[in-house]
Structure 1
């Protein structure tokens, strides 16, 4: 028994299987991760090491960075190693091939790093090994404010009660805190009093370090138990610190810390500022793991923030303001593609109704309605004058109306039977995508590529059903009973539609042979189209014949409709055969024109979409004070305050390098695109740049840096020579049309004074280099 005959004889079974597929697909749709694009980025692992004592960059490079590079370079599937050596800090970024299992890679990196851990300088702090790249754009920026609270008070609350809770969220790799000053216990030593007691300052620092500890002292064995002994020495109050004994006078009196120093609960010098629309705040900059899902991480963090706000231990006045959220623009893009998919489905049904209807009314109404839908789509997606949610609502209402109309009127039932392939095949495609998550986790997500593939293939979903319908109508016109006609007509077409479907699917086979990063990016389109075609094939040989055997429609009228279009096509075909040389010449001309136009189309690895955010980078020379960076950022903020399209300005001010995150109003509320807004600001920012020698002020849109940057690497041993060459290259490249936002990634070291110690004379006084420093 063929599949078609089984479907005709067992309609309840087929209907139940179809409903089960729809149910599974509906659940899968809610479970599939949402991304803007497939995660084709390289998996990044960062090794971050802070070094006490302010070690200069040259020593950081030679004593810390290079040994790590040499040890880590043997890790499997490692593509690039990027190192940054700064004063008191080393960062080594390991970039792996696309598709690498980052759990295994992370474990291998930790195991390899442990081999060199003990060979690094004793001044290093505990290394941080995290799956992210520190220069990545934060997935979420949220500002913390509260009436009556200073930035320092907010910073203390964030550091002690909020930061660690967000760090524990699955997928979060790092949380930076900006604004406010960190709380510290300051011990301000009076050098004259120290000299009076003939005490060195390192004695004070050493005693403070060894006294502020809780240590295990062993255990005492009793008859029935073993009791641990712990020496409890951590300071509990300022008075404990003040009463710490640091020496004994010849008269046997104790010299206490309060005798030579002032101890106070205060703050460190400011290392960063944070502002939202020029108002001081404390901001949290949350970065995700390089391979984590952006939307899920953002949703988890926002959920954690909601629970934090409900915590009774925190002030009720505490408010979180989300100034940047990558998940919002991803959802907007997905909603736009989903609305496009709905518009395509509506147009397909309208065209089907115009060709398959057996009544004059659909033939007269459906074509103008298709033109109206096309115009509405253009207005919505090109100009933004119709919001995407409104457009989606219109298309859903039209779709429901069309399906209801085709179900009620017998003359439109052939259209309904074929059109049912669209929703059924689409939902089953989601189920198939979900089933492939364990095999292809990087491409089986809801993103603009997979949904775009579904939108492109929505017209193909009805092809098999149309072929089956046409052949069944032939059998019905010859007088066959409905069930026999449905079974025989479908069985005759199975081989033809199977060959047609496989031919369309095999076109995407070469995708598996291209480079890994491009394969990850575009295989989502191929997989989605192939799955949807296979689902439509299954629907065409099961659901369509089952419905054709049960639903009644005027067969004679349907045959006349087929004859109506056959006669018109016959006339066109006859004319083409009579003018065959003219037709061949026209085809060749059109083909040549197409090739010429293709050669003139600009080519990009990945196109960009209209965004509502951009970032202004303010880079000053090394050694610039925080106050100078703050002044430069203030000038940028004043420029942005006069731009009518700007909604929110979130500034992160740090010495030498600052960022201003700008959020624009929705596209429907502004007349200029994001690029036009940036270009209007650029001349004013260039004036600010000229006020600060050796500075760079440049702009960047989300998802743009990896797609539109041209990186030129200059190799050599002498950094001063490399810097001179790079600056000269930069000046010349500024004259190239189309190049904007040129900058140097390398940064000159901070200004410094070198104190060279005469070790012979120092030894005569019993001093070491460390004591002199």
Structure 2
């Protein structure tokens, strides 16, 4: 017995099964992670090595070439490109598409470790190995600006917001861009140094000696053991100014006598502006496979709460919000389903003159979509632009096939030559394979009925 005959004979079981699948599909549709593009694994790895203050020619000779010599021993490499600039060496390795990227990363780490002995001993940082991944691109950027508070206070507020956003489930990283770190600058006056006969070495040595936290060992009291430490780090600028450099003729020479201590910021390496005002930006990145729409909504709630708490002193803006584009795509799919349902029902109702025929075809559209969502959830596939385009494309094919089947049943039913059960079975037997094979369907449609036993015969009198 074919699946068609079995379904007709056990229609109640099929109906229950459809209801269950529809409920599962709706639940899956609500919970399916949304993202702009599928998580594509690109077999490209970048090895970057910073070496501050080194010219490009020296970077190539001291860093790039030793690393390339080791990395050339890797297998399944399609191409390897290197760039040596002022203070940075970048090597880009592209593997064959079928290479396991995790295994490739491990092999690269081994080769880089093997090259360590040939690299300069005064490298400030070890080579950074990074995989190129689409999922690590920011889903939104939050800009903070203010004309009422300074950059220091703005940074504190940005860091608090950063901590709150990082608590959201599914957040991979929140990076603060445009900020500068606090720096205590000590500017020595050459004339005063000469007047007090103080060298720069004495000045720096005195400051370093006072800015120490020393361990004091352990103290045991009964069954308890306490760790002792002597804190000596500076807490403010005044303490630095009062540091004694040395004693001369009964008087103490202090830092403030020969230098000016400033509480300032490091030189900015990145800049951020909003409407001409200095600003800071928070770049939000989510984990692969997480629901962008949910994360974006929770982030916006956090931003709104912070804006309300600050009383309007700080302006918050969101740029590059990917969730807007995804929402538009999802709404477009929903509109296509609804539009297709209405148009198909209207056309069939007009040409076939039966509400039942129109409802049969129209019902196939949402039911098929719900089953698709259940399958996507079972296969752990996210709802992205590729999946949405495929569903819209399949929607047209689905409507075509449903119309052909229903129209065939309607035509045979108008002849009045068979029972309803036979009407449901016969057209599916004659058209089932043709609908699954487009080329064969085209051939069959060009033939006419040639009597009993003919492959292309579709009328009930011949079958």
Distance 1:153 1:208, change over 3 A: same
Give 1:318's match in structure 2, choosing from 299, 302, 314.
314
Partner of 2:456: none
Give 2:295's match in structure 1, choosing from 291, 300, 303.
300
Query: 1:462: how far off?
Result: 4.0
- 3-state SS of 1:459 partner: helix
Q: Which has the higher contact order (CA 8 A, sep 6+)?
A: 2
CA distance in 2 between counterparts of 1:25 and 1:233 reads: 64
Structure 2 residue 15 is matched with structure 1 residue 20? no
CA distance in 1 between counterparts of 2:206 and 2:45 reads: 38
Q: Deviation string for 1:475-526 (max 9, x for gaps)? A: 7855654xxx32x4444455555533543599xxxxxxxxxxxxxxxxxxxx
Structure 1 length-normalised TM: 0.47
CA distance in 1 between counterparts of 2:111 and 2:225 reads: 39
Distance 1:446 1:101, change over 3 A: farther
Does the 8 A contact of 2:162 with 2:282 survive in 1?
no
Q: Deviation string for 1:632-658 (max 9, x for gaps)? A: xxxxxxxxxxxxxxxxxxxxxxxxxxx
Give 2:367's match in structure 1, choosing from 407, 424, 428.
424
Distance 1:300 1:74, change over 3 A: farther
Partner of 2:461: none
Query: 1:16: how far off?
Result: 1.8
Partner of 2:393: 456
Query: 1:17: how far off?
Result: 0.9
Distance 1:422 1:137, change over 3 A: closer
Structure 2 residue 279 is matched with structure 1 residue 282? yes
Partner of 2:187: 188
Query: 1:261: how far off?
Result: 2.0
Does the 8 A contact of 1:140 with 1:298 survive in 2?
no
Partner of 1:414: 357
Distance 1:299 1:19, change over 3 A: closer
Q: Deviation string for 1:424-480 (max 9, x for gaps)? A: 11221122122222xxxxxx3333332222222223224554555435863785565
Number of residue pairs aligned between Structure 1 and Structure 2: 440
CA distance in 2 between counterparts of 1:314 and 1:198 reads: 54
Structure 2 length-normalised TM: 0.73
CA distance in 2 between counterparts of 1:220 and 1:47 reads: 48
Map 1:476-515 to 2 at 5 A.
477-478=415-416, 480-481=418-419, 485-486=420-421, 488-492=422-426, 496-500=430-434, 502-503=436-437
Partner of 2:455: none
- 3-state SS of 1:458 partner: helix
Does the 8 A contact of 2:165 with 2:174 survive in 1?
no
Partner of 1:644: none
CA distance in 2 between counterparts of 1:207 and 1:77 reads: 57
Uncovered stretches (5+) of structure 1, i.e. residues with no partner: 358-410, 438-443, 507-568, 574-773
CA distance in 1 between counterparts of 2:22 and 2:36 reads: 25
CA distance in 2 between counterparts of 1:234 and 1:111 reads: 40
Q: Deviation string for 1:569-616 (max 9, x for gaps)? A: 99xx9xxxxxxxxxxxxxxxxxxxxxxxxxxxxxxxxxxxxxxxxxxx
Does the 8 A contact of 2:22 with 2:370 survive in 1?
yes
- 3-state SS of 1:12 partner: helix
Distance 1:327 1:346, change over 3 A: same
- RMSD (Å) for aligned C-alpha atoms: 4.6
Distance 1:147 1:302, change over 3 A: farther
- 3-state SS of 1:454 partner: helix
Does the 8 A contact of 1:64 with 1:121 survive in 2?
no
CA distance in 1 between counterparts of 2:129 and 2:209 reads: 28
Distance 1:298 1:479, change over 3 A: closer
Partner of 2:412: 474
Partner of 1:237: 236
CA distance in 1 between counterparts of 2:70 and 2:212 reads: 34
CA distance in 2 between counterparts of 1:82 and 1:445 reads: 33
Partner of 2:328: 332
Distance 1:156 1:3, change over 3 A: closer
- 3-state SS of 1:420 partner: helix
Query: 1:314: how far off?
Result: 6.9
Distance 1:462 1:300, change over 3 A: closer
Does the 8 A contact of 2:145 with 2:274 survive in 1?
no
Query: 1:423: how far off?
Result: 1.5
Q: Deviation string for 1:117-174 (max 9, x for gaps)? A: 685544514776655589x97542322124511345323543x434465567645456
CA distance in 2 between counterparts of 1:467 and 1:313 reads: 59
Structure 2 residue 339 is matched with structure 1 residue 343? yes
CA distance in 2 between counterparts of 1:116 and 1:226 reads: 45
Does the 8 A contact of 1:60 with 1:85 survive in 2?
yes
CA distance in 1 between counterparts of 2:339 and 2:211 reads: 68
CA distance in 1 between counterparts of 2:308 and 2:227 reads: 33
Partner of 2:262: 264
CA distance in 1 between counterparts of 2:209 and 2:125 reads: 17
Moved more, 318-327 or 204-213: 204-213
Does the 8 A contact of 2:141 with 2:284 survive in 1?
no
Structure with the higher fraction of residues in strand conformation: 2
